[in-house]
Amino acid sequence: MVPGLPIASAVLAKYKGEGDAKATLRPYTPINDENEPGYVELLVKQYPGGPMSTHIHNLQPGQTLDIKGPLPKYAWAENKHDHIGLIAGGTGITPMFQLARGIFQNANDKTKVTMVFGNVSKEDILLKKELEELENTYPQRFRAFYVLDKAPEEWRGSTGFISKELLKTVLPEPKSENIKIFVCGPPGLMKAISGNKVSPQDQGELSGALQELGYNKDQVYKF
């Protein structure tokens, strides 16, 4: 049996520890190949004091985790957009990777994808091997740009935070027809790039770098 999760969807994990007054709920985006049966793969970064991430990292083979889903995020359909931009920070890469891989696994989907991925250090870049594989396999349709806050001397990519100048250079232009920009990352990145969501059901107003570059609310989706 395959997981049955559509592109751009998540699952909700639930954990209630001993003595907890209420359960902890966290959404996660599976990163496994949807066509491979038998399992769901989650990429979970452990945070000090994080009840859910600590619980998941402490699980042993044979133990279980309560999850439910799918939780649809963005209603993707093949060739829905001609060109999409993916702006991610840290673990915000997971829905972007799921979306990009889903596009390229569909031979009928010709969408072009440009990704900008920000991290603190080179070691923090998640799914680097998988992203490079996509870039090597689809060089005309997928490009990834990496930004490091603390870059080593030999680093040839962008440094600091994801800048408005970089986005202007690499993303599909706001005046282009049928484009979409997706954003996912920690609150600081969201605030700087697009503004944060009000709630899972309310995208909120568009602000930050994307608004300053001329994109409108309908051209941007916040995971």
Give the pLDDT score at 1.
57
- Alpha carbon distance 166, 96 (integer Å): 18
Count of CA atoms in the C-beta half-sphere (13 A) of 90 = 14
- Alpha carbon distance 149, 46 (integer Å): 20
56 φψ region: left (φ > 0), alpha (ψ -120 to 50), beta (else): alpha
Q: Are 77 and 132 in contact (CB under 8 A)?
A: no
User: Is there a binding annotation on residue 12?
Assistant: no
Q: Are 21 and 31 in contact (CB under 8 A)?
A: no
Average pLDDT value for residue range 201-209: 97
Structure tokens at 141: 């349709």
Q: Is the pLDDT of residue 4 over 80?
A: no
Which CATH number does 9-72 carry?
2.40.30.10
User: Is there a binding annotation on residue 45?
Assistant: yes
Give the pLDDT score at 18.
85
Q: Tell me the average pLDDT of the chain.
A: 94
Give the pLDDT score at 37.
79
User: Is there a binding annotation on residue 190?
Assistant: no
User: Is there a binding annotation on residue 43?
Assistant: yes
User: Is there a binding annotation on residue 148?
Assistant: no
Q: Are 89 and 162 in contact (CB under 8 A)?
A: yes
Instruction: Give residues with Cβ within 8 angstroms of 207, minimum separation 6.
Output: 191, 194, 195
Q: May I ask the CATH architecture of the domain 83-222?
A: 3-Layer(aba) Sandwich (3.40)
What are 46-81's pLDDT values in tens digits?
988 889 999 999 999 999 999 998 899 999 999 999
- Alpha carbon distance 76, 111 (integer Å): 11
Q: Are 206 and 216 in contact (CB under 8 A)?
A: yes
- Alpha carbon distance 143, 132 (integer Å): 9
Give the pLDDT score at 159.
96
Q: Is the pLDDT of residue 131 over 90?
A: yes
Tally Cβ neighbours within 10 Å of residue 29. Answer: 24
User: Is there a binding annotation on residue 39?
Assistant: no
What are 136-175's pLDDT values in tens digits?
999 999 999 999 999 999 999 999 999 999 999 999 999 9
User: Is there a binding annotation on residue 169?
Assistant: no
Domain segments of the chain: what residues?
9-72, 83-222
User: Is there a binding annotation on residue 28?
Assistant: yes
Give the pLDDT score at 34.
78
